[in-house]
Amino acid sequence: MKMKDVMRYFPPLFRNKFILSFVLFFVWLTFIDTNSLIERTKNIQQVHQLEKDKLYYEKKIQEDHERLQELESDRENLEKFAREQYLMKRENEDIFIIEK
């Protein structure tokens, strides 16, 4: 079979070598390449999610820093924190834990 016979089966639009090369290039960029458009959109979504996580953790760090400053500045707050978080107690004192 000759190439002209094979080309008869394609629509006239795809017989043009420039359009055919453009279509192949587009398919390559969209689906096959390691940096395809699909992978690129996934990476962009991941970057947005990581930026949200970064903002959340920066806010959390700031809150923890403020809490630490509060605990270091006041002895009563430190004692209250230790009692609540680590169930510490004074001598001759009983602790009752109430779970919700």
pLDDT in tens, 3-35: 777 777 777 777 788 888 888 888 888 888 888
Taking residues 54-83, report their average pLDDT. Answer: 91
Please tell me the predicted confidence (pLDDT) of residue 66: 94
User: Which phi and psi (to 5°) does residue 87 adopt?
Assistant: 55, 40
- Return the structure tokens found at 75: 């002895």
Find all residues with CB under 8 Å of 70, minimum gap 6, and list them.
77
The answer to whether 20 touches 14, Cβ cutoff 8 Å, is yes
Tell me what the pLDDT averaged over the chain comes to: 86
Task: Of 26-30, 57-61, 95-99, give the range with the top mean pLDDT.
Answer: 57-61
Residues 6+ apart with CB under 8 A from 44: none
- Alpha carbons 97 and 100: distance in angstroms, whole number: 10
Q: What's the pTM value of the predicted model, to 2 decimals?
A: 0.57
